[in-house]
Amino acid sequence: MKEIVLKNKKNGMSMMLLFIALYLCGVGAVILGGILLDDGKGIGVLPLVLGIIWCFFGWLPFMGLKVLKPQEALVLTLFGKYIGTLKEDGFYFVNPFCVAVNPAAKTRLSQSGDVDGGHNAALLNAVALGKNAEAAAVETASKKISLKAMTLSNSRQKINDCLGNPVEIGIAVIWKVVDTAKAVFNVDNYKEYLSLQCDSALRNIVRIYPYDVAPGVDTTGDGVADEGSLRGSSELVAQRIRDEIQAKVAEAGIEIVEARITYLAYAPEIAAVMLQRQQASAIIDARKMIVDGAVGMVEMALERLSEKNTVELDEERKAAMVSNLLVVLCGNHDAQPVVNSGSLY
């Protein structure tokens, strides 16, 4: 389906004034016909009949008046045939029998434009109060398609990463409609379609990556292990998710502007175990750094003592000194040394 952008003149105001004038003329014709009939003149029948007919059907042209605000579009069909889309803001008059189509008008998602209590909330309130005219007006307004960039925030999903660990992840997708004909006619409901494709793309990409850097994992598909991970490569993961969604929704006339990871954590059932694992890894790294530093300090002490001939130590005394220094430098608590007041030997 190819989008046809209508370039109608913005003559809605002049046409509305014309229809109001004609309606008043119809009312006047009814009054005039009644007066002439009361006078016994047969010529009053024609204006009376024409006036009554116009009063009954004169409201039909008003249905062709359409108002569009900036970044709104109206997809119009005539007896089931797509005739075009109004995209520019203004006050238009179109064929009164044209019908605006928007299958996603009443769809409610966790996204901007759907959570502000807008047209749909007003429609429900109007119906509840029995205001048919107001309900009809709001329902007509809801047929407009927003061309603004909107943010879709789907619920968090529990997905297994490439190592099989359950991960909870949520994303925010910024999108907009760029082809109204495809959005309306190529898919049943473009909002639900987008939401489902976001969930599917998220699962496809997350399954490629481990939560944290893991050895022997290829996340790029080139056959070489790399250091890609959900936590450390969030920008790259988000870009791949965006590209995956875009490939799926292009047929629906939707452009994905950006995708961002909004929440990332291990699933509750393994969160405690993984936290212990991370703590153990951190402790090991810290101990390794402490030991490396302690060994360096011991080597420096022995070299300084040897260079200045401060004291001569045999191998046994050097081993004892090294042991004492390592205990002092690597211990978790402050050392409490025993002072030797006697001789060295």
How many CB atoms neighbour CB 296 within 10 A?
Answer: 11
Question: Is pLDDT above 80 for 20?
Answer: yes
- Confidence band (pLDDT; 50, 70, 90) for 118? very low
Q: What is the mean pLDDT of residues 324-332?
A: 71
Local structure of residue 337 (DSSP, 8 states): P
If one counts every other C-beta atom within 10 angstroms of the C-beta of residue 137, the result is 15
pLDDT of residue 23: 84
Instruction: Report angle CA 139, 143, 144 to the nearest 5 degrees.
Output: 130
Distance CA 297, CA 326 (A): 9
Superfamily for domain range 150-271: Band 7 domain (3.30.479.30)
β-strand pairing of 90-93 with 65-68: antiparallel
CA–CA distance, 156 with 144 (Å, rounded to integer): 30
Backbone angles phi, psi at 263, to 5 degrees: -150, 135
Q: What is the pLDDT of residue 75?
A: 94
- How is residue 187 annotated by DSSP? S
Contact 238, 201 (CB under 8 A): no
pLDDT of 204 strictly over 50: yes
Q: What is the pLDDT of residue 155?
A: 82
What per-residue confidence (pLDDT) applies to 335? 64
Gap between the Cα atoms of 253 and 181, Å rounded: 7
Question: Per-residue DSSP letters for 43-80?
Answer: GGHHHHHHHHHHHHHTTGGGGGEEEE-TTEEEEEEETT
Alpha-carbon gap, residue 140 to 68, rounded angstroms:
12
Q: Which among 163, 190, 164, 170 is positioned nearest to 179, based on CA atoms?
A: 190
pLDDT average, residue stretch 61-71: 90
* pLDDT value for 334: 66
* Mean pLDDT computed over 197-218: 89
The yes-or-no verdict on residue 205 having pLDDT over 90 is yes
Angle at which helices 234-249 and 190-206 cross, to 10°: 140
Q: Comparing C-alpha atoms, which of 56, 253, 274 is closest to residue 161?
A: 274
pLDDT at 123: 44
pTM assigned to the model: 0.70
Residue 274 is predicted with a pLDDT of 66
Among candidate residues 265, 246, 267, 249, the one with its CA nearest the CA of residue 257: 246
CB 325 within 8 A of CB 302: no
Enumerate the CATH 3.30.479.30 domain ranges in the chain, comma separated. 150-271
Most confident of 263-272, 273-282, 321-330: 263-272
